[in-house]
Amino acid sequence: MNITRKKVIVYIIMVIIIVILSIIIIKLFNNYFNNHGQNIPNMPLKGDRSNIYSCENYKVCNQNDIIPSIGLPCDCYFSEGYWEARSKFRTAVSKIEGAELHTLIVIPNSDYTIDIAVINGTMGLMVHTSGIHGVEGYAGSAIQLALLDRLQNKSRNGQPTIVLIHAYNPFGMAHFRRWNENNVDLNRNAMLKSDGDIIRSRDPNIAGYMDLTNAFNPSRKPSLYDAYIRLPLSMIYHSIINGSDNIKHAMVAAQYVDPKGIFYGGDRLEKSHVLIWNWMDRFANKQAVSWIDVHTGLGNSGEDTLLCDGGDVMKTHTRWYPGVPKVQNETKGEGDVGGGYELTRGFNRELFTQKFRNKNAKIHHMTQEFGTLSGHMVARALILENQAYNYAPNEQAYWATFTRDAFYVRTPEWKQSIIDRGVIFAEQAIERSRITSKELNGS
């Protein structure tokens, strides 16, 4: 076979490969070709706030759209922007007799706040947090609103105190970012100084992050070519060369050296953590504590996974949380959702389990993770939005639609699953705190 004929065969093979890859890419990103660029109430990073949504009465949904298992409507609990969600939350708290509303300002001279509802009880404590990862907060916020609806006119006698922490990372939630105002991942940052010093001094390439930093953190503004050609092909290439599990492992282990990079854990405890740490002092002597931290992004769409550090949660989950689809120990990197996290540190759980001083305290601190899109789609969205935030801030609002859609699947089926499972799990945690408190007190 002569050289010319060989070249022709090679060219034909290359054309076939390109055609196949193009079909895969178009199918993979079909939803984005159809849906991106919708107008959303996402405030520019700087500029006029006159168009921010304000919603004083959040019950505006179709009351016939009822979730059978909990008897509540669905869509009215979800919001299209942070300020809308916050207004709904404040209104819902005001409707519960005796409920307290606390507001913590995260960024001085701004309107980015963490809002906390406290419904006092007598037996134990249940804490529910939304929005540690900003854009993921729309699911947690909706669950909190539905739970507040369920708590109206209910007796608090013999019930635990309920604390709902809304929009832990308000800047990220407002701008559909996973990271906060300092580009820090708050769920890699939750460490006291002694623990933080150890983690920040370890090899920055311990999980292979630095080997892939050029792929994770392009130092230029994003483009549609990046979104639909370069990044998908890059992910296919690295998945073949390195393996998808290894890429996830490198990414989620985080890094503490590049302030502009994705999954940056910061160089000190961030303001949101400091505020909540100090505010939680009032509950430091509680013994029966159940804490749910709501996240989205990993797993089958609409299905929740209970992530924990093993221990008592793994041993007793069938007693306290029947019906949860999956329970995985993420500190050991187990399972399809929890896999790859064995080197990850700075989880909110690691910090706040140290807050409760009673040596007899029984604490369940759990992540309820709801699936959205595929891992590749989620990673692609994070990279693109972070490129825009750092290198094209005037275009960030557009690229934030990618992260919004990756972490907030606004379909009726997904929303119904979030409310259904979110409320059921929260009420199970409330009951667990109540019974555990009675057992600890010998009553």
**Per-residue pLDDT tens over the stretch 106-127:** 999 999 999 999 999 988 999 9
Q: Which DSSP string do the residues of 68-122 spell out, in sequence order?
A: TTTTEESGGG--SSHHHHHHHHHHHHHTSTT-EEEEEESSTTSS-EEEEEEE--S
Separation CA 187–CA 264 (nearest Å): 10
Residues 331/310, Cβ–Cβ less than 8 Å: yes
Residues 369/132, Cβ–Cβ less than 8 Å: no
Residues 245/339, Cβ–Cβ less than 8 Å: yes
Separation CA 139–CA 85 (nearest Å): 10
Distance between first and last Cα of the chain: 89
Please state the φ and ψ torsions of residue 289, each to the nearest 5 degrees: -125, 125
User: Mean pLDDT throughout 70-98?
Assistant: 86
Instruction: Judge if pTM exceeds 0.85.
Output: yes
User: Mean pLDDT throughout 32-45?
Assistant: 46
Residues 156/120, Cβ–Cβ less than 8 Å: yes
Nearest to 336 by CA among 313, 307, 315, 314: 307
User: Model confidence at 15, in pLDDT bands (50, 70, 90)?
Assistant: low
Quick count: other Cβ atoms within 10 Å of Cβ 425? 23
**Per-residue pLDDT tens over the stretch 353-408:** 999 988 889 999 999 999 999 999 999 999 999 999 999 999 999 999 999 999 99
User: Mean pLDDT throughout 285-305?
Assistant: 96
Which amino acid makes up residue 10?
V
Q: What is the pLDDT of residue 47?
A: 38
Nearest to 267 by CA among 387, 343, 183: 183
Nearest to 326 by CA among 357, 350, 305, 300: 305
User: Mean pLDDT throughout 212-220?
Assistant: 96
Separation CA 309–CA 363 (nearest Å): 11
